[in-house]
Amino acid sequence: MTIAGHAPFDTLFDTPFDTLVICGHGMVAQRLLERLVAQPGQPFRRIVVFNGETSPAYNRIQLSALLAGDASEDSLALQQSAWYRQHNIEVHQGDPVTAIHREAKTVSTASGQEQPYSHLVIATGSRSAQLGISGEDLDGVVGFRDLQDTRKLIDISQRHRRAVVIGGGFLGLEAAEGLRSRGMAVTVLHRSPHLLNRQLDPTGGTLLADALASRGLSIRTGTSPVALLGKTSVRAVQLDDETLISTDLVVVAAGITPNIRLAKAAGLVCDRAIAVDQRLQTSDPAIYAVGECCQVGEQTFGLVEPGYQQAEVLAQVLCDNTSTAAFEPAVIATRLKISGIPIFSCGQTQPDGDTESVIWQDHETRHYCRLLVRDQRLTGAVLVGETSDGPWYSERIQQADDISPYRAHLAFGKPYCDAA
């Protein structure tokens, strides 16, 4: 989906010192703030942030470490309160924007505040996708998206011993491993035939499942829940093959849904997410959107790295209306470590009729490499167990250079290819 571009947004007030309002305070919003204050020209008299959470911006990537007991809440903070005071940034915790009044150029918040703006940024992120089955409203059914979710999971893990995680993507596996490390018996349900089906091929997914099973997780792929059972609290999960799994906790990690309610209610153009152009501008020239809540063309974003790139662009656009900065969605490499197992994925992960596969596997060490090649150009890489050459493969994919001089050595990594 595309939206028409807009002329650069000029000053709306008589004074050049305007007010920037940001709805949401996640990792991308924080990166935007840091890039704004680093710009040589700072046009905003005030920067006001309304945060729906009660804690300032924190490192969501470390929530899995917090769940596993390997990190503290204090270590997750991205900046201390003194930083916001130093840069005259007002942050209102636990007071989300509830309505945008575009004609008046004001926002209303949950506490009843009315805040004028000259520029508005929506950074409301996403929430756990709904399963669409009965029982999702039972006690003990929890997502894994934010600090509050993580606190709930820790609390339940201290009182109960059985958990089911629905979703074998990165978040689901992180939640499962964190709960297992706290002593729970954890079953992972994944409807696709193999784990991490967006990042890995079937062989890589099977190797990962085997490794996780050896650490104590129960993995069930190719299956889906059809109901969550219980009177007030969840007590079992019913599967599509009529199997019942008894449990005290269900973690829903089966994808995300962009938070676009605020934007839709304000009449902004939305599709699956808030439609923006390459300047991150919405259908209203005074309003921008970044991160998981926005959509560029047909593409939405579930990783933090594209959001950081958007923040870089938007900081330039907001501080200089003549800036030519534009966000270009790029191939993003995924580098993960799940239960100590390193994984790398970039570009195409499944072969098609036009690709050839270069495969290397060490069964003893459980190291696996699959490279996809089209017209002597590397188009994809999947690595499990040994990922040190991942960035080099990613560079080859991005640059699309000719690999024919060293193709025979490609699976063995950069040193062998350089020697060739």
Q: What is the residue extent of each domain of the chain?
A: 18-127+256-319, 141-252, 334-419
| Half-sphere exposure of residue 254: CA atoms within 13 angstroms, side-chain side | 23
CATH class name, domain 334-419: alpha beta
408-414 own/partner pairs: CB under 8 Å, 24+ apart? 410/358, 410/371, 410/373, 410/378, 411/358, 411/359, 411/360, 411/369, 411/371, 412/360, 413/388, 413/389, 414/389
Answer whether 141-252 and 334-419 agree in fold: no
334/384 Cα distance (integer angstroms): 12
- CA distance from start to end of the chain: 45
Q: Write out the DSSP string of 376-388.
A: TEEEEEEEES--T
The pLDDT score that the predictor gives to residue 387 is 92
Please give the Cα distance from 48 to 88 (Å, whole number): 9
Low-confidence ranges of the chain (pLDDT < 70): 1-17
CATH number of 141-252: 3.50.50.60
Question: Which residues have C-beta within 8 Å of that of residue 23, sequence separation ≥ 6?
Answer: 50, 96, 97, 100, 107, 120, 121, 122, 123, 124, 262
Instruction: Point out which residues pair with 106 in neighbouring strands.
Output: 101, 116
Q: Is 14 exposed, middle or buried (0-12, 13-18, 19+ CB in 10 A)?
A: exposed
What pLDDT was estimated at residue 340? 83
Burial (CB count within 10 angstroms: exposed 0-12, middle 13-18, buried 19+), residue 129:
middle
Other CB atoms within a 10 A radius of the CB of residue 21 amount to 26
- Residue 267 has φ and ψ, to the nearest 5°, of 85, 15
Whole-structure pTM value: 0.89
> What number of other Cβ atoms are within 10 A of residue 281's Cβ?
22
Q: Which residues contact 62 (CB under 8 A, 6 or more apart)?
A: 71, 75, 76
Cα separation, 19 vs 37, in Å, equals: 14
237 three-state secondary structure: strand
Question: What topology is assigned to 18-127+256-319 in CATH?
Answer: FAD/NAD(P)-binding domain (3.50.50)
132 burial via Cβ count (<10 Å: 0-12, 13-18, 19+)? exposed
The helix or strand, by DSSP H or E, that contains position 306, with its residue range, turns out to be: helix 304-319
380/382 Cα distance (integer angstroms): 7
For residue 8, what pLDDT is reported?
38
Beta strand 218-221 with 126-128 is: unpaired
pLDDT of residue 111: 96
